[in-house]
Amino acid sequence: MTARLSNAALDSLPADIERPGYDRAQVRAGVVHLGIGAFHRAHQAVVFDDLIRAGDRRWGVRGASLRSPDVRDQLAPQDGLYSLVVRDGDVERTRIVGAVRDVMVAPEDPAALLAALGDPDTHLVTLTITEKGYKLDPVTGGLIEDDPDLAQDLVSLAAPRTAPGVLVAALALRRARGLAAFTAISCDNIPENGRRLQAAVLALATRHDPRLADWIAETGAFPQTMVDRIVPATTPQDIEALTARLGVRDLAMVKTEPFTQWVVEDRFAGPHPDLAAAGVQLTADVAPWEEAKLRLLNGAHSAMAYLGGLAGIEFIHQVVARPAGAAFVQRLWDEAETTLSPPPGLSIPAYRIELMRRFSNSALQHRTRQIAMDGSQKLPQRLLASLAARLARGQSIEALSLGVAAWMRWQGGRDDAGAPFKVDDPLAETTAARVRASADPAHQVDALLSLASVFPAPLAADPRLREALVGHLTRLSRHGALAALDAALADPVPGTPT
């Protein structure tokens, strides 16, 4: 049986494998990360590893899962070590990341997580919990009080079950001990992530102790951020290939691309690392960076995921390898670009070239179905915001509306060949019931447009959007995604604004 990656195995690794290069026993844990999945391990943890390598030993990471023990079970036998495999075409580099000290599982021992968050050494709490984890109603912005876990946290925070509950309980503990508040940094790919996190924390804190909420508002910090790195899901084949390369087994490996970006609002509650020295962009206003990324990279990703997935195309690079796929992405970008206000230092033409290069990286094996997950949570910021802006100006929406129509078609759970697939989405049961109630594309469009949590009322009521969606969904239903792509690129859908 092949041994696992561990501290003891580092010296036996091949010479070209990059090792941590520091005494891990001397590292203090200044960071607690909630939601320690693949993205964190390929993104923020690497930044903290860079800081430690540069000599600042205060920024080790204690990871925490609010649900599953899977990542803990992967990392614990490996002393928290894992491989970062960076792939760019035929070139592959492997680095062992040592920043993660351990992983806690909140449901198993909530007191241990609160103790870590209440430790005087903890100054930063980072989160990748997805939009679902904030427990905020997308329409009202208030707490989703009928969420079972949040309902428990509204009653008691003795053993918190949600991310806002964990943060409120930890901040209450720090206040009681006379410690300063920490900086809570959302790293989720959603608009105004810092403000959303703050809103959830303050709303829950107010329900328990208004004075605690006032203290958090006055002394805490919830900076806005923008994160960018493509991190496809690891496959068993990836693990086997790496095992052959390392001579030891790494069940926690992550694979990614060379590109990485982290933009953080320059607002902290207390001690914090020199993030700029590790390549992080500190700024007074994250919003323009965030908007460009959501509407160009993520908007194209989602549209390609649904169209490619419906056509039976497994990977993103295969979508843009088709002339019609690449042309569609360019058309979508032409539309979305007009809605942006780029910040100084961001060249949109250069950004588009870089994005297409990243999409074309066949070594990543980025699955369309992975990107298609949680579409009801992603659609508003990735495609609908651009749609609304262009409709307000009377501009065309052929490509953007095709992406939305493909999402609607996706809710049926069958691809163009009739093969079934799982719609992995919080609203999957609701959307499935609505599209299956009628085979008429017009009825399906109306049923899905009425989802207030996805479509803002003014946009849902716009007849120009409805007509474009009905035209696209009709083509998708009758002829399939590839034919709909060709038709949309050749001729505007009838009724689309011009």
Q: Please, what's the b/e burial string for 20-37 (b: 16 or more CB within 10 A of its CB; e: otherwise)?
A: bebebeebebbbbbbbbb
Q: What range defines the domain where residue 433 resides?
A: 287-490
What would the two tokens of residue 341 be? Answer: 């206000």
Q: Is 12 helix (H, G, I), strand (E, B) or coil?
A: helix
Does 308 lie in the same domain as 255? Answer: no
Q: What is the pLDDT of residue 437?
A: 96
Q: What is the CATH number of the domain that holds 156?
A: 3.40.50.720
Beta-carbon neighbour count of residue 333 at 10 Å? 22
DSSP 32-94: EEES--HHHHHTHHHHHHHHHHTT-TT-EEEEEESS-SHHHHHHGGGTT-EEEEEEETTEEEE
Confidence grade of residue 252 (pLDDT, cut at 50, 70, 90)? very high
Q: Which of 235, 261, 283 marks a domain boundary?
A: 283
Alpha-carbon distances, residue 278 vs 36, 272, 427, 472 (angstroms)? 20, 13, 39, 45
Q: Which of 240, 483, 238, 249 is nearest to 367 (CA)?
A: 238
Domain membership of residue 273 (yes or no) is yes
Query: Average pLDDT, whole number, for the chain?
Result: 96
Q: Is residue 417 part of a domain?
A: yes
4 in a structural domain = no
Beta bridge partners of 315: 367
Q: Is the pLDDT of residue 497 over 80?
A: no
List, for residues 321-341, the tens digit of each pLDDT value.
999 999 999 999 999 999 999
Q: Does one domain contain both 485 and 355?
A: yes
CB 404 within 8 A of CB 302: no
Distance of CA 451 to the CA centre of its chain: 22
Say yes or no: 293 and 234 in one domain.
no
Which token pair is 138?
């997308």
Q: Domain containing 294 — which CATH number?
A: 1.10.1040.10
Question: What pLDDT, on a 0 to 100 scale, did the predictor assign at position 491?
Answer: 60
Confidence of residue 495 (pLDDT cuts 50, 70, 90): very low
494 pLDDT exceeds 60?
Answer: no
Please check the confidence at residue 487 and state whether its pLDDT lies above 90: no
If asked whether residues 303 and 220 sit together in one domain, one would say no
Residues 186 and 306 both lie in one domain:
no
Q: How many domains does the chain have?
A: 2
Say what percent of the chain tops pLDDT 90.
95
**Does 22 map to a domain?**
yes
| R_g over Cα of the chain | 23
Q: At what angle do helices 428-436 and 441-449 cross, to 10 degrees?
A: 150
Domain stop point among 283, 306, 331: 283
Assess whether pLDDT exceeds 90 at residue 493: no
Please list the alpha-helical segments (H only) found in 209-298: 210-219, 236-246, 287-292
CA angle 133, 189, 318 (to 5 degrees): 120
Model confidence at 380: pLDDT above 90: yes
Residue 5 lies in a domain: no
CA angle 352, 126, 24 (to 5 degrees): 105
- pLDDT over 70 percentage in the chain: 98
- 496 in a domain, yes or no? no
Q: Specify the pLDDT at position 102.
A: 97
What are the tens digits of pLDDT across the range 75-132? 999 999 999 999 999 999 999 999 999 999 999 999 999 999 999 999 999 999 999 9
348 and 368 part of one domain: yes
DSSP, res 457: H
| Boundary (domain end) residue, out of 232, 255, 283 | 283
SS3 call for 261: strand
CA–CA–CA angle 373, 320, 401 (5° rounding): 60
Query: Is 3 a member of any domain?
Result: no
Task: Answer yes or no: is 65 within a domain.
Answer: yes
- Name the 3-class secondary structure at 166: helix
279 and 307 share a domain? no
Residue 319's SS3 state is: helix
User: What is the spatial distance between Cα 116 and Cα 273, in angstroms, rounded to a whole number?
Assistant: 19
Q: Residue 492 has what pLDDT? A: 54
Instruction: Give the strand pairing for 60-65 and 261-265.
Output: unpaired
The count of other CB atoms within 10 Å of the CB of residue 2 is: 10
Do residues 294 and 257 share a domain?
no
pLDDT digits 0-9 by tens, 170-181? 999 999 999 999
Could you tell me the pTM of the whole model? 0.89
Q: Percentages helix, strand, coil for the chain, rounded to the nearest 5?
A: 50, 15, 35
Asked whether the beta carbons of 431 and 495 are under 8 A apart, the reply is no
Mean pLDDT along residues 185-208: 96
pLDDT at position 237 is: 96
Q: Is residue 251 located within the same domain as residue 309?
A: no
Give the residue from 485, 12, 433, 75 showing the smallest Cα distance to 248.
Answer: 12
280, 110 Cβ separation under 8 angstroms: no
Alpha-carbon span 465 to 384, nearest angstrom: 10
Show the 3-state SS of 398-456: HHHHHHHHHHHHHCCCECCCCCECCCCCCCHHHHHHHHHCCCCHHHHHHHHHCCCCCCC
Same domain, 262 and 330: no
Supply the pLDDT for residue 138: 85
What span, in angstroms and rounded, lies between the C-alpha atoms of 226 and 238? 28
Strand partners, 33: 63, 126
Confidence bin at 488 (pLDDT 50/70/90): confident
User: Domain check: are 235 and 310 in the same one?
Assistant: no
What is the end-to-end Cα distance of the chain in Å, rounded? Answer: 65
Amino acid in position 460: A
pLDDT at 420 over 80: yes
Does 256 score more than 70 pLDDT? yes
Contact (CB, 8 A) for 137 and 144: yes
The verdict on 230 and 293 lying in the same domain is no
